[in-house]
A = this chain, B = another copy of it.
Amino acid sequence: MNGADLLCKTLLQENIDVCFANPGTSEMHFVAALDKRPEMRCVLGLFEGVLTGAADGYARMSSKPAATLLHLGPGLANSLANLHNAKRARVPMVNIVGDHASYHDKYDAPLSSDVYGLAHTMSHWVHRIAGPDGIVAATQNAVHAATTAPGSIATLILPADAAWAPIAAGSEYRAKPRATARLVEHATITKIAALLRNGKRTMLLLGGRALRADSLDIAGKISSHSTIRILAETLNQRIERGAGRTPITRLPYGIDSALAVLKDVEQLILVDARDPVAFFAYPNKPGRLAPPACDVHVLSSTGEDPVQALAGLADELGIPAHATGLAAPALIPALRLEGVLTANAVCHLVAHYLPEHAIVCDESITAGLSFSEASLGSAPHDHLQLTGGAIGIGLPLAVGAAIACPTRKVISLQADGSGMYTLQALWTQAREKLNCLTIILANRTYATLHGEMKHVGVTNPGHNALRMLDLTEPNLDWPKLAQGMGVDGVRTDTVREFHRALQYGLQQEGPYLIEAVI
């Protein structure tokens, strides 16, 4: 047994049994260790951004971490944008980054770089293994860091000489108790309960774990027995929604719309949510979105248990556990097959046909805005979003969600511009025969940026600007891109074509792609 074997064994002992990987030479001993452990499912991605996005989707749906295996500084660098999203989503993840043998560092070989510094930028926890003796403790610490609520990005750097060093077979592994979500103090709950009776216009802002069905159910009961409104943060790791669940709208992305939604709020109660801020700064507009006179209070912070906090709050307010809440009625949008193919038409058809327990990976940016409303009464489903704003998460997220939940349909609502960032994920969908239906909302532009150009006063963009904002000349052909990676697909230009393709795609058990030219 060597260090790599021991690390692999410890991961399995810690209940990590999926590894999204793209190894290189410095990770060969770890690959050899994985090869001896068929109980570890190894999933290859053809670009590292696929791996961290997939580990994120896996964690959102399974509530436990996957491992990633990354090759040196450049492999880690390629993974960072989706690590940023995962860090913002507060999911658990354990990254194993191979590095040169420690005694090789002094040579500054071509692939040497500051692995620790890179890891630090997008991880909550980083540790470089010094030698084989520390491997069990380091791995357990990484898993502990990753899984302590609310979840963290833990990055473990494994120098090649620690991986290949022989180790006695006897292991010092002792299972340690897992950290659970912290409870909110009763005094906090009674304080918030008192505030909710003060007559101010009040809103509960929910984020993170508070958007699962159990928390939402209680929040809905509180809202239905009072004048308190509920709202979700703009970008969320996972909302459990659809018929029978508490419907909740999200704070809009656009600063003017967001300010409008919050303008009359006198009291904002945060439940696993943050005091809302503008995505970007704009000249002469505020950074904080709540009105200056609005009071902001915290019911529960990230890492605390929102179910316990909300249940305690409902109890203080005298709302019985069996009270009626806001459960959305089953209300499927009507089938409309006329008209031109627009983003709204696509969203309505997807909401109409949404299979029960579907997982919707939403990186539709501007094009998918109408999906949320259209699907309020669709079959129960999960809605996963782009949490950190780093585009290129959607297709990888679907990979991870499908591996976590093999019996559920995963539907990607994917914008074209962001889809191109990590299109390699389609190959992994094909290889692993994942139950993923990808719908490309092809508006052939970075539509967000056209709006932003107007904001900065450019109403008539010229050659250079248009060349940087539009994806035309040439148009992308998504079915060909998908077929190039082993995923069948079709382009649709009309509602009827899209309707037919959607019915076909939903019947498949493997991956399929529909390009909707909107």
The interface of chain A, by Cβ under 8 A from chain B, is: 21-26, 28-29, 31-32, 34-38, 40, 42-44, 46-47, 49, 73-75, 77-78, 80-81, 84, 88, 100-101, 103-104, 106-111, 113-114, 117-118, 120-122, 160-161, 164, 234-235, 277-281, 283, 287-288, 387-392, 417, 420-421, 423-424, 427, 430-431, 448-449, 452-453, 455-458, 461-465, 467-469, 471, 473-486
**A312 CA to B432 CA in the complex, in Å?**
62
| Contact residues in B for A430 (Cβ distance below 8 Å) | 474
Let me know if A474 and B486 touch, CB within 8 A.
Answer: yes
Quote the shortest CB–CB distance from A34 to chain B (angstroms).
5
**A391 CA to B43 CA in the complex, in Å?**
19
Q: When A and B form their complex, which 4 residue pairs have the shortest distance between CB atoms, in order from nearest?
A: A474-B486, A74-B390, A481-B484, A101-B281
Quote the shortest CB–CB distance from A90 to chain B (angstroms).
12
Let me know if A121 and B113 touch, CB within 8 A.
Answer: yes
User: Can you name 5 extra interface pairs (CB under 8 A) apart from A80-B80, A475-B486?
Assistant: A37-B464, A38-B463, A44-B468, A107-B287, A477-B483
Let me know if A74 and B84 touch, CB within 8 A.
Answer: yes
Let me know if A121 and B118 touch, CB within 8 A.
Answer: yes
Quote the shortest CB–CB distance from A41 to chain B (angstroms).
8
Let me know if A42 and B456 touch, CB within 8 A.
Answer: no
**Among B46, B74, B84, which residue has its beta carbon within 8 angstroms of that of A81?**
B74
Quote the shortest CB–CB distance from A28 to chain B (angstroms).
5
Let me know if A25 and B80 touch, CB within 8 A.
Answer: no
Let me know if B476 and A160 touch, CB within 8 A.
Answer: no
**Among B23, B84, B455, which residue has its beta carbon within 8 angstroms of that of A28?**
B455
Quote the shortest CB–CB distance from A489 to chain B (angstroms).
10
**Among B36, B120, B421, which residue has its beta carbon within 8 angstroms of that of A47?**
B421
Q: Can you list 20 pairs linking A and B with CB atoms under 8 Å apart?
A: A23-B468, A24-B449, A28-B455, A31-B449, A34-B465, A38-B462, A38-B463, A46-B421, A47-B420, A77-B77, A77-B122, A78-B78, A78-B81, A103-B281, A104-B287, A111-B280, A117-B117, A118-B118, A480-B483, A484-B484
